Structure 1
Amino acid sequence: MMKYLLATCSLMALLGMGHSLPALAQSTPSAPATPKSAIADNDLQKFVSAAKKLEAISIDRNTQVTQAVQKEGLTVDRFKEIFLAQKDPKATTNQISNDEKQKFDRAIAQLNTIQKETQTKMGSAVQAEGFEVPRFLQILDLIQKNPDLQKKVEQMLKSAGR
């Protein structure tokens, strides 16, 4: 459960969330810096709340991605094969027909839209909990590096009924 939650939160970094709201981050005065190894309980509670929202957004995104690929007439496995073949031309894969290539390209266009929407939703979810994205990512990094914090977050999730 904790690993999935941390992976979901890490998705923000992979989607470029640390860079998607630069104007807002620059215009908002910074809160006093919390010592790198300490996170206030209030911030940890807000982190857990935001992380739960991010998990729901991630699940929704996964559903949308699967539907977008299938809507274009590809299976998820075939989409992955084509994707990997394009990344590594040396990869062994079944021949890609022109029809499959067109379906793949249309699916990629939809996935790019889904990614942008996901970035917006995730940024809003984090901000709704009172964080700027860089601070949220800083807390995530601290939790990932500290087993004691991981246990504390796990306990908070359990007591919140997750």
Structure 2
Amino acid sequence: MLKQFLVGSSALMLLFAGSVSAQGASELQTQEQDMSQEQVNPAPATPQEQQVDLQVDQDELQRFANAVEQIQTIEQTAQQEINQVLEQNGFSRERFGELYQAQQSPEAEVTTEATPEEQQSFDQAVTQIESILQGVQAEQVQAIESEGLEPQRFSEILAAVRQDPTLLQQVQQMLSN
């Protein structure tokens, strides 16, 4: 479960980061960069990353696990909201993704034409999704802070948990209780 979180946490942000208008994309990327610096960096550790040598006591690890649970709930709710937005605007995830890719890569050989009505619905969906994602980011920070952790500290613990199998196992046990 935690591994899914570590790899997929904020996948919502990554899945829909590109699902925004060209104007909103750069704005959202900036927000995501700020968030990853201040909060969560869900990408799996790479060999190039420095080994994290971080001391985490059991109380702090429990607070981290509590925040992880809250973040998972926030993301599940946001996923449902985004699915509703897509449905209300007449899109499957696949079609929305096609239109997004066509908008982001107009020079690509695959061309996906949208009718004017579909483009209008797409733009409306993008605006709604951007709003949801902004709320998700704020809720995640609030969840972290409600557990008495600073977003930077949460990020440090997350990096340590990703690299230390013992810490990972401890957090998994905390989450299963």
Counterpart of 1:137 in structure 2 is 155
**Superimposed CA distance per residue, residues 41-71 of structure 1 (whole angstroms, 9 cap, x where no aligned partner):** 1110000001000000000000011111111
Question: 2: CA distance between counterparts of 1:131 and 1:62?
Answer: 25
- The equivalent residue for 2:133 is 115
Question: Percent of pairs identical after alignment?
Answer: 29
Deviation at 1:9, TM superposition (A): 4.2
Q: Of the candidates 56, 69, 72, which is equivalent to residue 86 of structure 2?
A: 69
Query: What RMSD, in angstroms, separates the aligned Cα atoms of the two structures?
Result: 2.4
Cα offset for 1:92?
1.8
TM-aligned CA deviation for residue 102 of structure 1: 1.0
> Does 2:100 correspond to 1:83?
yes
Match of 2:58 among 33, 38, 41: 41
DSSP-derived class of the 1:73 partner: coil
CA distance, structure 2, for counterparts of residue 61 and residue 154 of structure 1: 23
Structure 2's unaligned 5+ residue stretches are 15-31, 40-51
The answer on whether the counterparts of 1:12 and 1:18 sit within 8 Å (CA) in structure 2 is no
The TM-score, its normalising length taken from structure 2, stands at 0.73
Q: Once structures 1 and 2 are overlaid, which stretch shifts more, 1-10 or 109-118?
A: 1-10
Whether the 8 Å contact between 2:82 and 2:132 is mirrored in structure 1 is yes
Question: Greater CA radius of gyration, 1 or 2?
Answer: 1
8 Å CA contact 1:8–1:55 kept in 2: the answer is no
Say which SS state the counterpart of residue 104 (structure 1) adopts.
helix
Q: CA deviation at 1:114?
A: 0.3
TM-score by length of 1: 0.79
1:101 matched residue in structure 2: 119
- Whole-Å separation in 2 of the counterparts to 1:122 and 1:44: 17
Task: Give the aligned length.
Answer: 146
Contact 2:67 2:144 in 1 (8 A): yes
Consecutive unaligned residues in structure 1, runs of 5 or more: 22-34
Deviation beyond 3 Å, 4+ runs, structure 1: 7-16, 18-21
Q: Residue 35 of structure 2 aligns to which amino acid in structure 1?
A: M
Do the aligned residues in 2 keep the contact of 1:8 with 1:58 (CA within 8 Å)? no
Deviations 1:49-96 (A, max 9, x none): 010000000000000111111111222211011111122220525422
Counterpart in the other structure of 1:4: 4
